[in-house]
Structures are given as structure tokens and as C-alpha cells.
Structure 1
Amino acid sequence: MSRRTETDVRPITEAEFPDWNRALNTGFLQPPAVAEEQLEARRRQFVPGRSLGAFDGDRCVATFRSFDQELTAVGGGTVRADAISNVTVTATHRRRGLLTRMMAQDLAAAKERGDVVATLIAAEYPIYGRYGFGPATTMTEWAVDVPRAGLDRRWAAPEDGGRIDLVDGEDVRGLGPGLHGWLRREQPGAVSRTELWWQSRTGLVNMNGTPWTEPYYVMYRSADGGVEGLASYRTDDHWGDAKQPLNTATVEWLIGVTPAAERALWHYLCSIDWVQTVKSGWRSPDDLLPHLLPDPRAARITTQADWLWVRILDVAAALEARTYDGRGAVVLEVVDRGGLTGGRWRLEAGPDGASCVPTAESAHLVLDVGDLAALWLGDASAVRLAALGRVREERAGAARVVDALLRTSRRPWCPDMF
């Protein structure tokens, strides 16, 4: 009987990058061979020490990458985040603790760097809770039945004096980063985008190895000439019997920094000739879209699921980075099986700021660090978590105090996959 050899987990070298990418493609059920163009594009993401691999002999059998990111907290402040991506374990090497070893290395390094949180988009729900992550935002996708929506299909321009124009990739690269920065200042849960993000979405860089086809880009200008909205969308070519158009417009991304911009962009998308269905792409669960339609039932939810997962690495820094509409104090006992940021903390918060310090006082609420992450961005409810048995009140009413402090009027949202 052959003996199982010890698998080496380590940061990869540049020479190991092609093999690492082959393992990455294999893990995500993509063709294993990596095209040279795709490999060169991915090299731009390579940061020495931040891409980990597990090696059985000379063969890479697991992958893990992290990179610097900024995450917007409630109130518009940002925190340093360790963004985690490209996590795979080859099917031949499952259940050997490879992900646990890679995650432990990365989170320890992030803690030492002073990162406040770690972030990821979870492909599967059950995996990351055991590492202290909690689902902190939700994503919703709608399919709009355009004929049923009740919008005027003869619509030609926004009623507010603004205008809609089609633009090209160069315009998007010039205008998009500033517009996204505006959105990110207002949207808890939003994350930073790199120059590479904009280049890959406008055809300058090919990250996935498939032939590039240019989407449509549409821009909204307000009546005073300011750019307040951008969107990218694609259309198909589908016709039914008797030459009836059944085309679908699929939104890749849409930024509207004002309600007027959102209204105008969605109305434009729902007024394109031949388009019978508009697919919204990844949106906030309380997006304005359904109720911008005369008949909100025309917007059917096709996907609703957890999206951004957060792992708090510094409880005090995270809770002090956000704002609070109400005023109050609570003692939280944070259980962190990873040993990175557990303990008992006294949070005193109000509209003028917050203080979070270690304390020996008796706890009011006991919770796992992953559940604190779900509460931190304002989406989860401590009262609901208590009913589920995931947090424990040591003082009656503590969950309501936490909800009054942490919950937000609009839900957090992360527009990005990374």
C-alpha cells in the first residue's frame, strides 16, 4: 500500500506560476491548459508572498491568493482588508487540511500587517464559517418582464432634463473609477477596484482566455452635465414564432450614484427595441429597481444569496471605524476559535463616534466572531441570531441594544465578485 506523502504549503515562486494556474483552472472546472494571453494577464495580479500553493512533489494541488483591498464600513469610512480569492483544492487531495493550512498562514500574515478584516466571496456556504467568516451582505438578481413592467416603451429621454448616451471603453476607463469612488463613499460593503478591473471589463486585458466581445456601455448625465451613472450590458438574438422578438438584455454592472441616475438607466434598459427581458445582474436586496416599475411584480427574483463574507481581525478597529445613528453601550464577548481577536469588549457608541476597548466587565451578549461580522455591516439582526441560538444574551434585552446600534436603514451591498 502506498504511503501518503506530506504536502508542502508555501508561497509560490514566479517559476511555479503556470503550474499554480493549471491547478486553479482545474479546481474551478475550467480547461486545465492556460492560454498564454490569460497567463500574462493573471501575472499582473501576482504579488510575491500573497499567492500560496500546496505541492505534492512538483505538482500544485491547491491554490490560494490574497491581495490588498479597502472595504467601506457604515458611514463611509474604509478599513484595510485582506481580500481572499482563487481558493481551490484539487479533487485528488481533498480532506487533507490544505485549505486550513493556507488560510491559517494568510490570516496570520494579515493580522500582522494590521488588516482590520478579511473578505471573500464564498462559492459554497458551509466552508468558511469555521475560519471565522460570516455572511455580511446579500445579493439579489431580478429578471424584468418588460411588456408587463408598465413603463412607456416610447420613452426617449429622462424627464428630469438629463440625458442618456452610449459611450465606449475608453470613456468608461476615464469616468468609471471616479464614479465608482463616489458610490463606494456612500455604500457600506463596497470594495475598491483596481485599474486592472476596469481594463479587464473594457477589453484591454483578457483575464478568462475566451475571445473578447465588446458590450454596450451607457452613461447618464444630469441636467447640469455631471456624470451620475454608467452601465455595461449585453444582448442576445432570440426570436420566436411569427417573427416575435424575444431578446434579453443582461446587465454586467450598473452604477447609479443618485436615484435619478438609477431611474434613468433602468428605464433606458427597459425601452430598448426588441428587448423583452432585462436581467439585472448582481444588485442589493433592497435595490430600487422593482419599485421604479409601475408593476413591481414584473421584476422576478431569480437569485438571492449570501455574497460578501467578512472575517474580523481587529474587533476594536472594526467597530470604531463605522458610524452609529443611535447612542448606547454594550459589552460583547467575542468567541474566536482562530485565536486572532477574541475577548471581551466594551462598545460605547453614538453619532459623535465610538470607543471599543477590552474590559473585564460581565458580558451582555456572547457571540462568535463570524456572527459579529454579519452584524458589523448592519445587515444581520442580533435578535434574530439569538432566536436561532447563534448568540446568547447574558443580560436581558442586549440583542435589542445591539440592533439599535448596528443595524442600518439601507442594506449593505458589495457590487463586485473577486
Structure 2
Amino acid sequence: MTTELRVLERDQWDLFMGRLERAFGGPQDSPERREGWRRVTEFERSLAVWDGAELVGTAGAFSFRMTVPGGALAEIPGVTMVSVQPTHRRRGVLTSMMRHQMDEFHQRGDAVAVLTASEPAIYGRFGYGVGSSQLAMSVDTGRVTIAGPPGADVDGVRMRVVSPADGREACEAVYAAVVPSRPGMIARGPGWFEKLIADAPGDRDGAGELLCVLAEVGGEVRGYARYSVTSEWDLRGPKGIVNLRDLEALDPVTYAALWRYLAAIDLTSTISTYNRPVDDPLLHLVSDPRRCDQRVRDGLHVRVVDVGGALESRTYTAPVDVVLDVEDAFCPWNAGRWRLTGDTKGASCTRTGDQPDLALTVRELGAAFFGGFSLRAMGAAGLVRELRPGALAEASTAFRVDVEPWLPHGF
């Protein structure tokens, strides 16, 4: 088989998306959502693999600015739209696209790349490690009460329902203020807001229209939630579901008030949400966490493209001075020994000939990058080898963060 990899042309986009949908089992999006994908597609970073006149592979990347530990925004590409046609599986098509992307990222100076995986087992062989998690919950609001901060006037927060479009300016201002506070969050660029509020009737899966509630204190919007309601009844009465799409707040009182509002919506008995941070403050406010039906799954998959640039882009919770012996067969420019020194103010990571303190692959380095997974735990699994006594505890403490990394929406 002879295939050719080329950058996507604009007039090929419909075919590109059609082949992507075919690989995922058929049309996934309404025309409205499809148009949303077109608006944010970066054609110069999108790849198509051809076998003659047949398009057999797709891949793309978005140019994101993402929060890293320490609160800085780093330029990080988000890999997306990856597919291989069933006729061309296990023939090197995916490897060729991953190879092209890694070389392009390296040439552009991107130090880290991220993706969300349809199947997590796929990307480890290309050096991606699972770097964050997401929490899904189904809160039984008939049995769970939600407290507010002690002494706070939660009922003094005014709630106002608007259309998602009308709430755009206020919601995006709140979101932008929250972004630096949590690693893994994306500073949204043009076109992304429209994608997030896409609400074609054919995409609702039986739910009502998407609504936006603004939480106001003294006339200032301090938080918001976007949600829809699925109406359900049985012989005992209503048991509707509040489908929470996203929720952000600037302070604990507004945060609690939003959850209490959602829990009190008439004719409903459940709040369902599929993507919250694993350290969501709600878990400290509910009367019975067992009746929140918590389920954790992988979120961001992280690939360190340039060891020195990646580890210098973030800060460290505690002082660290460690020599890392990194293995990276797919990107050999990363392989070898790197001395990392850093603290809460910044870091330096350079090549060294000194004796290594820890040995690991680039996959474990990616898993640790945003601070959500412990090097010590990976050491207990045999994936990080301690070569100097004490080095593993030192590095593990320095890499971890006190706010869990989280990707608030997919791409």
C-alpha cells in the first residue's frame, strides 16, 4: 500500500468530516454542530492521508492557550479529529500522522501536546500519558441536601435565567477569571463559545432547550450554569433530570447558590453531569456523597514534546533539584539526562552528564506534567525508578499541585 499525507485543503473539509464520522460509526453531529467544527478547524494544522483518490486517515490540532501549574498560560496544541478508515487499520496510517504532528510541534516550538482519547489504549505508544481526570456525577436531589458556607447568605444570590447567547459576555468574563486558577483549563478563542452552546433540537436526546442561569450579587454576575431539563414521569410522579453542561463561580457562596438552585428545579429529582473536576467543592457540601454516584475517568492525555521547554514552563510546589533520565523512542531528541531545578517562582531544565536520580519514560513525564498524578504512585507501579534515595519523594512533592488539573470541555 502506498499512501500520501497532505495538509487539508478547504474544499476537502466536507469529505474529511464525513470520513471522520464514518470511522466513529456514522454521523455524530447535526448540521449546526458540524458547522461549529468547521469554524474552529485550523486547516494548516489538519492532515489527510490519501490512498490514491480515497481519503483514509484524518487528524488535526487546535492552537490552545492552556493553564499550567503556577497559573501561566502556555501555547499547547490540542490533537483532535483523529481517525483511520476500517479498510486501512494496522497499516501505519495513524503512526504516519502522529509522526508528522510530533515533528511539526517540535519545529514550531510547542513543548507539550494534549488530546482526549476515544480509546485510551491507543496513544501510550506515541508517548502520551494520562494527565488529568474528570468526574461524572448523578446527584439524587430527593435525598441529598446541599449546604452553603457557614454563615453565608446563599439565598441573597439573585438568579436570573437568560438564553445562552444573551449570557455570553457575562459568562465568558467569569470563565476567563477562573482559567488561571486551575491547570488544564483552556483560554477560549474565537468560535469556541458558539460550539459550547450549540443546541440543535436533534442533539438534545429528549431534553428541553439549553438554558443559562446567571448568579448575581449586588448587580454583578459572579457565576453561571448552563443546563437543560429532561422531563420524566412514572406512576409516583415527576422524576426529571437536570443535565448540567457547565458551571463556574468566582466565590464559594455563589458556587453553593448555583448548585442549590439546580437541586430545587421543580419536577426534577436528579442533577446529571459528566465532566467536573475530581476535587469539585460540591463533594464537601453534599449531605450524602454516596448518593452522588461518582464515576472517574481519564481526561487529558499529555505528550511532552520538548522536555526542557515543558518542565521550564511550569512552577513547582516545593524546591526540586533532580536529574531525570528520560526514555523517548518516538521523539529521540528528548532522550537522555536532564537536570531540573525549580520552585514556586520558576524552573530551569537543561541537558546534563550528571548521574541520574530518577529514570522514567516520556509517558510518565506527561502524566505528571499538570500535577494530577503522583510520581511516587508511578514509582510504586514500577514505572519510575529511583536511582538516588529520596529523589522520588522530592520530585513527587514538587510536581504535585493543590488544585487538581481539569479540562472543562472537549475538543
Report the TM-score, using the length of structure 1 for normalisation: 0.91
Matches within 5 A, 1:245-394: 245-301=238-294, 303-338=295-330, 339-394=332-387
1:79 aligns with 74
1:411 aligns with 404
| CA distance in structure 1 between the partners assigned to 2:258 and 2:182 by the alignment | 19
After superposition, the C-alpha distances for 1:30-73 in whole angstroms (9 at most, x for unaligned) are 239x8765654433233333111111221211110112111211
Q: Does the 8 Å contact 1:78/1:321 carry over to 2? A: no
2:22 aligns with 26
Query: Which of 238, 257, 260 is matched with 2:232 structurally?
Result: 238
1:144 aligns with 139
1:16 aligns with 2:24: no
Tell me, what secondary structure is at the counterpart of 1:148? coil
Query: Which of 89, 95, 111 is matched with 1:94 structurally?
Result: 89
Q: Does the 8 Å contact 1:367/1:390 carry over to 2? A: yes
Tell me, what secondary structure is at the counterpart of 1:99? helix
Return closer, same or farther for 1:336/1:39 CA change in 2, 3 Å cut-off.
Answer: same
1:217 aligns with 2:209: no
AA in 1 matched with 2:280: D
| CA distance in structure 2 between the partners assigned to 1:272 and 1:289 by the alignment | 17
Tell me, what secondary structure is at the counterpart of 1:331? strand
Return closer, same or farther for 1:206/1:239 CA change in 2, 3 Å cut-off.
Answer: closer
Aligned residues with identical type, % of pairs: 33
1:42 aligns with 37
Q: Does the 8 Å contact 1:162/1:225 carry over to 2? A: no
Structure 2 gap ranges (5+): none
Matches within 5 A, 1:186-201: 186-201=181-196
Greater CA deviation, 263-272 or 253-262? 253-262
CA RMSD between the two structures: 2.5
Tell me, what secondary structure is at the counterpart of 1:318? helix
Question: How many residues get paired?
Answer: 406
| CA distance in structure 2 between the partners assigned to 1:219 and 1:204 by the alignment | 18
| CA distance in structure 1 between the partners assigned to 2:30 and 2:212 by the alignment | 28
Structure 1 gap ranges (5+): none
| CA distance in structure 1 between the partners assigned to 2:177 and 2:32 by the alignment | 33
1:107 aligns with 102
Matches within 5 A, 1:107-186: 107-151=102-146, 159=154, 161-186=156-181
AA in 2 matched with 1:255: E
Return closer, same or farther for 1:300/1:130 CA change in 2, 3 Å cut-off.
Answer: same
| CA distance in structure 1 between the partners assigned to 2:173 and 2:293 by the alignment | 32
| CA distance in structure 2 between the partners assigned to 1:347 and 1:225 by the alignment | 48
Quote the offset at 1:100 in angstroms. 0.6
Report the TM-score, using the length of structure 2 for normalisation: 0.92
